[in-house]
Structure 1
Amino acid sequence: MLVRRIEQNEIVAVLDIVWDVFMQYEAPDYSKEGIETFQNSVINNNDYLNSITMYGAYEDSNIVGVIATRNSGNHIALFFVDGKYHRKGIGRKLFEVVLKNSTANEITVNSSPYAVEVYHRLGFIDSDTEQVTDGMRYTPMTYVK
């Protein structure tokens, strides 16, 4: 399993996996408004995509997982692993790249309901209760190095 920074010419494949995993695992917990917010603020937003640093996990030449950060690597903006590869350590390998490249002692994330337990297993703690903004449900969480 190779984990490396995603190149600009790979963005379409990255967005395909992000959208597919989102629709399978995240969307069932969101309202129609939340799904549209995600689509418009992430998938169809070039300014946003240009503001984040993305890393991919590859099996052979196929991308099977994505993690993206902003704020100098100190906030996880996206974290998606193809369902066929869940519970195989790929998410942990992606997170290790974030830890290596983070510039602060804390890493934050706004976790979807589906991913809260994943983040807990990585060592994150809830920093607030679940919130909803524009239909997007999330729990603010923090990891202290």
Structure 2
Amino acid sequence: MIDHVYISVTDIKRSLAFYAEALKPLGWSLFGNYSAASGPEGVPDLYGLGDDMYGKGTGVGSSIWLRQRTPGETGLYLGIVCDTNEQVDAAYAAAIKAGGIDEGKPADRTYFAPGYYAANVADFDGNRLEFVHKAWNPKRHA
């Protein structure tokens, strides 16, 4: 399951309005922003939209985070749901073994939220994957 996607846009305000209206019939809504000032260097300001399950703890939801595009930026950023920290570790190890580029070893990312554990890798074309376990999400598999 996809947890989240970052979409790089040229106009945050216009894009937020577009995505909010386009996804409203599907139960998605604006839910808040993330300030880069509260995280490590390289994490941008983010502007969030989520489905009707996202962040409620009653099921595993999905989100889209808009970020300001930088000159020459390309590629996709995709967050993949993991049910445990061990799955994050295993996916990260497999991606590195397959030739992926380390962009953040498995670790707690409490600057996003308590219980947020993730690892980041890039492929050969600069597309990025984040393997993420959110402690508040119910497990999807028994």
Q: Structures share a fold, TM > 0.5?
A: no
Q: Which has the higher strand share?
A: 2
Q: Which has the larger radius of gyration?
A: 2
TM-score by length of 2: 0.29
TM-score by length of 1: 0.29
